[in-house]
């Protein structure tokens, strides 16, 4: 077929606008309106069956983000179907998407809407890539090219043998290379291809090999979750992927939704932790986001407990000024939380486990002492022996004169708490300066016990 030919006595071919696999796509005109007409350019029975199945699948889906079938003639010598004429596929506008990341995410959310509609129709696409994502004349995202698609439930049309895989290099899920080929595909296979599509959109690079150092950490987390080798480790539905993309979008505007931004930051931190990477911006953002919750002590406390231990280690060892701000506000805010809210006594373990990371990671004496004080007060307040044990370990780690003197001052200022647990550590296990305050605390406690006994005797 060529320019000027008329198909089925109706459609005048204007020009060829696309080719791939078993078909060609032409711009055609009918009654002064323009359309896209796709023909089956192969003549063998297998490809004709696949072409007809594509029409059958597309015709079964009615959704604004999936390209629709306007007309078809599958019994013609050269089978064809007609679609709306779109402006372009998004692989032609990658530079624009990369320059506008928020807009790119919005586009991807629409892509997900289309794929979700396909899945809801019990169909697996199996060939998702930027070239198959079109933009219509009214600027809607349209998923196209269902030529490799299949019904996720039993499909009576057997087209490929069990060992054949089909798809686009760089986008093919690993399960397609296993025995069964594309017959292994399920929704998670499409999610894999969506991950590769996201990578290609934001980098313009072939996703055959993912380069992690050229992507924002939050986006990298989403992509890596999509393309996990084991389908069980991927997002299990398009809805889960949409949630992740939406959280990433919100993280680009944290002031509008700090909770979603915080969740995305945690995802990034956990991914960094797996790779033993320190991301200063991510660590700072997590701590600053939590500090923004300080006006609600209970919420602040709960979100503080979600901070990964790797982040606490990093802020203690690498960001002393931020660490000092955090521990100061943490101390004041959890005190308010414990006074204003019904507390669970096991909360003491959360506090102790966080404070020991700060204590062990920081070289700043004042920060370490504040971590000790918070652990001391909380463990006594909640009467939790595990937390007391954490404090004991901290106290026994103080082994030089300067540190011991400063810690002794802190213990003396908080002796009403320290006297409750001063007898837990053998005196010889403590620095000699701390031994003095320990003895003082023990005497106060013994005097209190003696006074209580005398009052009992008088009664």
Given a cut of 90, whether residue 235 has pLDDT beyond it is yes
Highest mean pLDDT among 220-224, 298-302, 352-356: 352-356
Three-state secondary structure readout of the chain: CCCCCEECCCEEEEEEEEEECCEEEEEEEECCEEEEEEEECCCCHHHHHHHHHHHHHHHCCCCCCECCCCEEECCCCCCEEEEECCCEEHHHCHHHHHHCHHHHHHHHHHHHHHHHHHHHCCEECCCCCHHHEEECCCCCEEECCCCCCEECCCCCCCCCCCCCCCCCCCCCCHHHHCCCHHHHCCHHHHHHHHHHHHHHHHHCCCCCCCCHHHCCHHHHHHHHHHCCCCHHHCCCCHHHHHHHHHHHHHHCCCCCCHHHHHHHHHHHHHHHHHCCCCCHHHHHHHHHHHHCCCCCHHHHHHHHCCCCHHHHHHHHHHCHHHHHHHHHHHHHHHHHHHHHCCCCCCHHHHHHHHHHHHHHHCCCHHHHHHHHHHHHHHHHHHCCHHHHHHHHHHHHCCCCHHHHHHHHHHHHHCHHHHCCCHHHCCHHHCCHHHHHHHHHHHHHHHHHHHHHHHHHHHC
Q: Using one digit for the tens of pLDDT, what is the confidence trace for 357-414?
A: 999 999 999 999 999 999 999 999 999 999 999 999 999 999 999 999 999 999 999 9
105-124 pLDDT, tens digit each = 999 999 999 999 999 999 99
In tens, the pLDDT along 267-317 reads 888 888 888 888 888 899 899 899 989 999 999 999 999 999 999 999 999
Residue 237 has pLDDT above 80, yes or no: yes
Kindly report whether the global pTM for this prediction surpasses the value 0.75.
no
Domains of the chain by start residue, with CATH: 1-85 (3.30.200.20), 87-153+162-252 (1.10.510.10), 398-459 (no CATH)
pLDDT digits (tens, 9 = 90+) for 27-86: 999 999 999 999 988 778 888 888 888 888 889 899 999 999 999 999 888 899 999 999
Give me the pLDDT at residue 457, please.
62
Is 50 exceeded by the pLDDT of residue 230?
yes
């Amino acid at each position: 077929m060529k320019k000027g030919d008329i198909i089925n006595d109706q459609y005048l071919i204007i020009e060829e606008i696309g080719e791939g696999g078993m078909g060609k796509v032409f711009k055609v005109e009918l009654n002064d309106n323009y359309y896209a007409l796709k023909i089956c350019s192969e003549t063998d029975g297998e490809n004709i069956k696949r072409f007809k199945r594509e029409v059958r699948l597309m015709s079964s889906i009615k959704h604004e983000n999936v390209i629709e079938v306007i007309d078809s003639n599958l019994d013609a010598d050269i089978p064809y179907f007609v679609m709306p004429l779109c402006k372009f596929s998004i692989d032609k506008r990658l530079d624009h998407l990369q320059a506008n990341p928020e807009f790119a995410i919005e586009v991807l959310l629409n892509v997900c809407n289309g794929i979700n509609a396909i899945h809801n129709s019990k169909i697996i696409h199996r060939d998702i890539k930027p070239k198959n994502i079109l933009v219509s004349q009214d600027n809607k995202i349209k998923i196209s090219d269902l030529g490799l698609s299949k019904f996720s439930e039993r499909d009576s049309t057997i087209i490929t043998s069990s060992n054949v895989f089909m798809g686009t290099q760089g986008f093919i899920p690993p399960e397609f290379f296993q025995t069964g080929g594309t017959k292994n595909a399920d929704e998670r296979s499409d999610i894999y291809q969506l991950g590769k599509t996201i990578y290609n959109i934001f980098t313009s690079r072939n996703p055959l090999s993912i380069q992690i150092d050229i992507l924002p950490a939050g986006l990298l987390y989403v992509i890596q979750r999509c393309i996990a080798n084991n389908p069980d480790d991927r997002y299990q539905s398009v809805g889960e992927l949409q949630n992740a993309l939406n959280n990433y979008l919100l993280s680009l505007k944290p002031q509008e939704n700090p909770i979603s931004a915080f969740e995305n930051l945690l995802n990034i931190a956990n991914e960094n932790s797996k790779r033993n990477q320190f991301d200063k911006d991510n660590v700072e953002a997590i701590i600053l986001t939590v500090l923004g919750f300080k006006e609600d002590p209970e919420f602040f406390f709960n979100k503080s407990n979600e901070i990964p231990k790797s982040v606490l280690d990093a802020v203690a060892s690498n960001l002393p000024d931020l660490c000092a701000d955090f521990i100061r506000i943490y101390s004041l805010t959890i005190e308010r939380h414990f006074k204003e809210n019904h507390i669970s006594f096991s909360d003491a373990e959360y506090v102790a486990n966080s404070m020991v990371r700060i204590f062990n990671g920081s070289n700043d004496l004042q920060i370490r002492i504040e971590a000790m004080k918070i652990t001391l007060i909380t463990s006594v307040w909640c009467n939790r022996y595990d937390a007391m044990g954490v404090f004991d370990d901290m106290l026994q780690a103080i082994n030089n004169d300067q540190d011991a003197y400063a810690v002794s001052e802190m213990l003396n200022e908080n002796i009403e708490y320290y006297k409750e647990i001063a007898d837990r550590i053998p005196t010889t296990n403590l620095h000699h300066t701390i031994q003095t305050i320990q003895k003082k605390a023990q005497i106060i406690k013994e005097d209190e016990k003696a006074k209580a006994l005398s009052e009992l005797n008088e009664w």
